[in-house]
């Protein structure tokens, strides 16, 4: 693969964004499928209580990996800008700095996850009958977090350089392996939730291995060499400066979602299982959002590196419209098909009813969710990660928690919890529209570190 094939600084914008986003969409579809297989197999073979445990643990999984993923947005921006400026040596230094940083972060996350699982589950108000399975599931998952971190790191390197095809290949393989192992461990060997978590860990570790095998093979536009794994202080400083706000944002939003989950837990096992099933369905809604926003961030970063400012503005505008359109289209489909979709996870009428109710409250507002994420991706690609952090923490965290606490206290109705999402998506969209309209993000704030 030549360097030109991974550049997004030339050619028609819409085909470039779609060509980059389509493999991401297919890859994330397989990833979502193999995450969903856990719930499908557990729900059908282990019962609603085990399904509730897996659903409750999902919030913790997002908490741990959210910080890491946010921080490495900074790494992706730096790599993309070097690549857009056609500075191979700078991109090489940024990649090796990112890899060594990810090794340290992955090890730390694994230890923290294993040690603090019971404490966090207690803070969440996890019911006693769900607690043992929740602890088992999340501890097994945490033990394999290094594989998840490295898998996301390899994917991030490919994507920062404009290659979204190789992550697709590895995700397909991981999805197939995970599905087979889920059935084997849970249905065949009766390992319960531990088997579901172990299947996921093995699938993620395999995809990480395949990604780095290609990065180290010499057949890609860059080559990762173990002997060059060292941290460049200047680059690491920019990675942290650009990525830390996103990492803090993701973690705090995840903590806010833990508060939301604790409110859901108060309505019982059926609510936990139903809302957890809806969360799996909603994961598919995020596919067009995630894929297009990754494309937007890479596009903005590379073109700012190449100083193609008019092209950055045109691509940002088109990316926002595409993200909103795809998000709302998926939302309409999910709204209409909610009973059938939730029914895949459980045959219990009360479980299905909770999931359908959440879907019907939120689904038609996905366009605002898409706009907020697209705008945030533009600002992060331009190195302006403070603004998305402030907006998300203020609206999606502080306001959402306050809203839910006050409204649930007044009405004690789970629908109040569900309305918090469209309300906060709409408010954040107003703030992001103002940030983009001002146009300050089009100027490069920090020069790339010199060798």
pLDDT at residue number 323: 92
Higher pLDDT, 190 or 357: 357
Q: Counting Cβ atoms within 10 Å, is residue 47 exposed (0-12), middle (13-18) or buried (19+)? A: middle
pLDDT at 369: 92
pLDDT at 450: 54
Residue 425 predicted with pLDDT over 90: yes
pLDDT in tens, 97-140: 888 888 888 888 788 878 887 887 777 677 777 788 788 888 88
In this predicted structure, the answer to whether residue 443 has a pLDDT above a threshold of 70 is no
More confident residue, 393 or 252: 393
pLDDT digits (tens, 9 = 90+) for 341-397: 888 877 788 888 888 998 899 989 999 999 999 999 898 888 787 888 889 889 988
Residues 6+ apart with CB under 8 A from 159: 20, 24, 76, 167, 294, 298
Domain assignment present for 36:
yes
Q: What is the pLDDT of residue 276?
A: 79
450 assigned to some structural domain:
no
Indicate the DSSP class of residue 440: G
Q: What is the pLDDT of residue 380?
A: 83
Residues 6+ apart with CB under 8 A from 10: 4
Distance CA 378, CA 383 (A): 9
Distance CA 445, CA 208 (A): 33
Count, residues in the chain: 451
Domain membership of residue 191 as a residue range: 12-442
**Is pLDDT above 80 for 419?**
yes
Under a CB-based contact definition with an 8 Å cutoff, are residues 357 and 415 in contact? yes
Asked if residue 43 lies in contact with residue 346, where contact means CB atoms within 8 angstroms, the answer is yes
Q: In the prediction, which pLDDT does 239 show?
A: 78
Q: What is the mean pLDDT of residues 412-416?
A: 85
Residue whose pair of structure tokens reads 């952090």 in the numeric block: 389
Kindly tell me if the per-residue pLDDT of 429 is higher than 70: yes
Residue 383 resides in a domain: yes
Backbone phi, psi, residue 8, to 5°: -115, 20
**What is the predicted pLDDT for the residue at 124?**
66
| CA dist., res. 113 & res. 107, Å (int) | 10
- Mean pLDDT, residues 289-313 taken together: 84
Q: What per-residue string of b and e applies to 241-267 under the rule 16 or more CB within 10 Å gives b?
A: bbbbbbbbbbbbbbbbbbbbbbbbbeb
Calculate mean pLDDT across residues 163-170: 81
Tokens of 325: 């359109």
What would you measure as the largest C-alpha separation in the chain, in angstroms?
62
Examine the pLDDT at 43 and tell me if it is beyond 60: yes
pLDDT tens digit string along 202-243? 988 898 899 999 998 888 878 888 888 887 788 888 777 777
Summarize the confidence of residues 173-192 as an average pLDDT. 84
Q: Is residue 451 part of a domain?
A: no
Q: Which alpha helices (H) appear in 124-232, and where do they start and end?
A: 131-143, 145-160, 165-182, 192-215
Decide if 107 is inside a domain.
Answer: yes
Sort 18 into a burial class: Cβ within 10 Å, 0-12 / 13-18 / 19+.
Answer: middle
What confidence tens digit (pLDDT) does each residue in 66-81 have? 677 777 777 887 888 8
pLDDT at 4: 45
Residue 196 has pLDDT above 90, yes or no: no
User: Does residue 2 fall inside a structural domain?
Assistant: no
pLDDT of 275 higher than 70:
yes
What the block records as the tokens of 165 is: 């095809």
State pLDDT tens for residues 14-42: 888 888 888 877 777 776 666 667 677 77
- 320 within a domain of the structure (yes/no): yes
Q: What pLDDT, on a 0 to 100 scale, did the predictor assign at position 303? A: 85
- Distance separating alpha carbons of residues 153 and 167, to the nearest angstrom: 11
Whole-angstrom distance, CA of residue 200 vs CA of residue 141 = 8
Q: Give me the chain's average pLDDT, please.
A: 81
HEC string for 213-251 = HHHCCCCCCCCCCHHHCCCCHHHHHHHHHHHHHHHHHHH
The candidate with the shortest Cα–Cα distance to 255, out of 126, 63, 417, 64, is 63
Q: In the structure, how many helices (H) and strands (E) does the chain have? A: 15, 0
Number of domains in the chain: 1
Residue 448 forms part of a structural domain: no
pLDDT band at 142 (very low <50, low <70, confident <90, very high): confident
Q: Between 160 and 250, where is the model more confident?
A: 160
Give the whole-number percent of the chain exceeding pLDDT 70.
Answer: 90
Give the C-alpha separation, 144 to 142, whole Å: 5
């Amino acid at each position: 693969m030549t360097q030109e094939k991974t550049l997004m600084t030339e050619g028609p914008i819409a085909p470039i964004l779609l060509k980059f986003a389509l493999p991401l969409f297919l890859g994330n579809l397989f990833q979502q499928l193999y995450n969903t297989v856990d719930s499908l197999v557990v729900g059908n073979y282990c019962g609603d209580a085990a399904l509730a445990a897996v659903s409750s643990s999902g919030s913790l999984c997002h908490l741990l990996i959210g910080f890491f993923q946010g921080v490495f947005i900074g790494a992706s921006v730096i790599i993309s800008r070097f690549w857009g400026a056609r500075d191979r040596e700078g991109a090489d230094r940024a990649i090796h700095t990112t890899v060594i940083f990810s090794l340290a972060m992955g090890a730390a996350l694994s230890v923290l996850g294993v040690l603090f699982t019971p404490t966090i589950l207690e803070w969440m108000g996890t019911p006693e009958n769900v607690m043992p399975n929740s602890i088992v599931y999340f501890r097994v998952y945490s033990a394999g977090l290094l594989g998840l971190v490295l898998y996301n790191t390899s994917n991030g390197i490919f994507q920062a350089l404009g290659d979204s095809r190789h992550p697709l290949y590895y995700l397909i393989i991981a999805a197939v392996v995970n599905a087979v192992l889920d059935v084997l461990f849970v249905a065949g060997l009766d390992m319960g939730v531990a088997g579901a978590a172990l299947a996921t860990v093995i699938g993620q570790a395999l995809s990480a291995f395949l990604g780095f095998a290609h990065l180290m093979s010499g057949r890609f536009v860059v080559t990762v060499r173990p002997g060059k794994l060292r941290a460049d202080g200047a680059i690491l400083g920019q990675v942290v400066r650009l990525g830390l706000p996103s990492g803090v944002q993701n973690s705090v939003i995840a903590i806010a979602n833990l508060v939301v989950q604790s409110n859901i837990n108060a309505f019982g096992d059926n609510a936990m299982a139903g809302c957890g099933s809806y969360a799996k369905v909603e994961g598919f809604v995020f596919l067009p959002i995630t894929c297009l926003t990754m494309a937007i961030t890479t596009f903005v970063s590379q073109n700012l590196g190449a100083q193609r400012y008019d092209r950055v503005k045109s691509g940002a505008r088109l990316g926002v419209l595409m993200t909103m359109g795809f998000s709302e289209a998926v939302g309409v489909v999910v709204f209409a098909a909610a009973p059938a979709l939730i029914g895949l996870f459980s045959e219990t009428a009360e479980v299905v009813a909770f999931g359908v109710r959440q879907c019907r409250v939120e689904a038609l507002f996905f366009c605002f969710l898409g706009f907020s994420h697209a705008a945030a991706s533009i600002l992060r690609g331009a190195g302006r990660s403070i603004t998305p952090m402030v907006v998300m923490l203020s609206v999606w965290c502080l306001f959402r928690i306050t809203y839910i606490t006050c409204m649930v206290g007044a009405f004690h109705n789970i629908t109040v919890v569900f309305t918090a999402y469209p309300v906060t998506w709409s408010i954040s969209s107003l703030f992001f529209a103002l940030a983009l309209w001002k146009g300050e993000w089009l100027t490069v704030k920090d020069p790339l570190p010199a060798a």
